Homo-oligomer: A and B are copies of this chain.
Amino acid sequence: MTYSAPVKDMLFNMEHLARIEQVAQIPGFEEAGLETAQAVLEECAKLCEGVVAPLNVPGDVNPSSFRDGKVATTPGFAEAFRQYAEGGWQGLQHPVDFGGQGLPKTIGAACVEMLNSANLSFALCPLLTDGAIEALLTAGSDALKATYLEKLISGQWTGTMNLTEPQAGSDLALVRTKAEPQADGTYKVFGTKIFITYGEHDMAENIVHLVLARVAGAPEGVKGISLFVVPKFLVNADGSLGERNDVHCVSIEHKMGIKASPTAVLQYGDNGGATGYLVGEENRGLEYMFIMMNAARYAVGMQGIAVAERSYQHAVQYARERVQSRPVDGSVKASATIIHHPDVRRMLMTMRAYTEGCRAMASVAAAAYDAAHHHADAQVREANAAFYEFMVPLVKGYSTEMSLEVTSLGVQVHGGMGFIEETGAAQYYRDAKILTIYEGTTAIQANDLVGRKTGRDGGQTARAIAAQIEKTEGELHADGSAAAKVVAVRLEQARKAFLDVVDFVVAQSRNDPNAVYAGSVPYLMLAGNLVAGWQMGRALLAAQQLLRKGQDEAFMRAKMVTAQFYAEHILTQAQGLRDAIVDGGASVMALPMDAF
């Protein structure tokens, strides 16, 4: 099954929703206009479609394997990663100073989507390396930067994030890995880390582990966690590789999906201690780790969009080929391809609308990230930062939850063939299920949304977004087309439902935290649904205008239909979510624990 990157949709979002020409006015991004975006996306599409996508099924059939402390990745992965690195893709969004391309996230995010559509398992290695780079850029000493950044950005080395331990998953307060200060300023690290993606592999010369650990005497809980660089091979002063460090892979996991990506158990310090280098200051590890995690969370949201797109393309192709049954409207007098059948169309439209809605939401969020980090005006930075921070749990939580539904529909479109592994649709279904779990489960995203993103500012950011949505509703009414009116009406209903929930969350967080957190995931789903629907509304307006100018009629009409479908079939879930959250909090916690 081939993959065809949705470059046109991505560029449409960048131009009309994320407003890339405004991003290109930010200092440092002067070259990053639409033309650059197009050139970059087309080049990236070639690599993803031609080199990485063909490795997706082989990676599932012949996953990474473990033997004698070493991991062998799927044949072809190492060579593909070499091409990825040599093309400069690892450095796309990273600073020019360290060999990167310095492009904005507005462009980079689309490349992340493509790579993940091509191959979720493969893309995890660059994804985690990006996180390691971010952490070092933000908190690393000049020495650490000098030693590691260029090699990571060039793709010669790769990075990992080491948070989880057997007893410490979502709850990092329980981290037990120890770091003992040494006379030379380094630390000796001892402990076990689990679920370390690409914690060991054969695709790069060195692996740079970023590891959460406790220094002896540190405070209990999350305030006593520090962040360390622990390289697989120590690095000599001249940058060459030195001794093997005391960190070893002891096994990899047998997983339901993303099988090609090795998920390692790493043992630190069994032979005297792994040499680690403190990142930033002691006891501020969680703060730095959040930098990596925020980047990674956004990227995992892109993974949801990516696997949804791939599953959609696979299903469309099958629906065009498979012949079964006569159309109910009598339009064909014999058995026809199943794309003629209304329920197949409903499934494909659902897949398409979710994917396009989340892609639009993520694109707008990426532009806000760029403005938040690089705009010259502090007020603009601040406003964009608040918006972006609100978006991260939505991009991560909503896009991955919808990917479960989309990949399930993708199997369903195939009927019985979907359940046969050789068809390929099942892989997306199995792969996608990790996305709502890692880098913080949907519940963890929802806690973030309720606590840090809504409660902390008394709902101010949430209400500001609602006000922007109301403005779009006005524009849709003013536009006057039937489709625009339908979208305006459903957006208004969903926005009001959202505002009811925001009021509830703000009012009840202290009085009745159980009721508020019982509704946290439904709140996330409602907010994501609304924001993606809002962007589809904006997309409809843009498409309508461009259509009047005679631009790309087929694309613009498709966008309008998809926006209307989103409003009628997805935004309509909003009221039910509101009712469950606002009226249904008590019944969530009412059953005594021993009655389950």
Contact = CB atoms under 8 A, between A and B. Distances in A.
Nearest to A325: B171
A68 B411 CA distance: 31
Contacts of A573: 573, 576
A254 B173 CA distance: 43
Contacts of A421: 254-256
Nearest to A339: B593
B420 A433 contact: no
Interface stretch (A93-101, A133-141, A239-247, A516-524): A516-524
Interface stretch (A82-90, A149-157, A365-373, A580-588): A580-588
A343 B446 contact: yes
Given A171-B324, A339-B596, A342-B588, A574 B576 contact: yes
A514 B569 contact: no
A343 to B, nearest CB: 4
A416 B195 CA distance: 8
A160 B170 CA distance: 47
Interface stretch (A434-442, A457-465, A473-481): A434-442
Interface residues of A, number: 97
Given A257-B419, A348-B596, A429-B256, A591 B576 contact: no
A33 B342 CA distance: 46
Nearest to A563: B587
A416 B569 contact: no
Contacts of A345: 518, 588-589, 591
Interface in A60-96: none
Contacts of A430: 256, 430
Interface string A516-534: 0111111000000000000
A422 B173 CA distance: 26
Given A164-B416, A596-B352, A588 B256 contact: no
Interface string A337-378: 001111111101100100000000000000000000000000
Interface stretch (A184-192, A277-285, A554-562): A554-562
23 contacts: A171-B335, A256-B411, A256-B419, A256-B420, A256-B421, A329-B513, A339-B596, A343-B517, A343-B518, A346-B521, A346-B588, A352-B591, A404-B408, A411-B437, A412-B437, A486-B583, A554-B595, A565-B588, A568-B580, A569-B584, A572-B575, A573-B573, A575-B576
Given A324-B169, A557-B595, A342 B589 contact: yes
B513 A174 contact: no
Contact of A572 (B324, B568, B580): B580
- Each complex incorporates copies of this chain amounting to 2
A269 interface: no
A20 interface: no
Interface of A: 164, 167-171, 173-174, 195, 253-257, 316, 319-320, 323-325, 328-330, 335, 339-346, 348-349, 352, 404, 408, 411-412, 415-416, 418-422, 426, 429-430, 433-434, 436-438, 441-443, 446-447, 486, 513-515, 517-522, 554, 557-558, 561-562, 564-565, 568-569, 572-577, 579-580, 583-584, 587-593, 595-596
Contact of A590 (B325, B561, B576): B561
A565 B589 contact: no
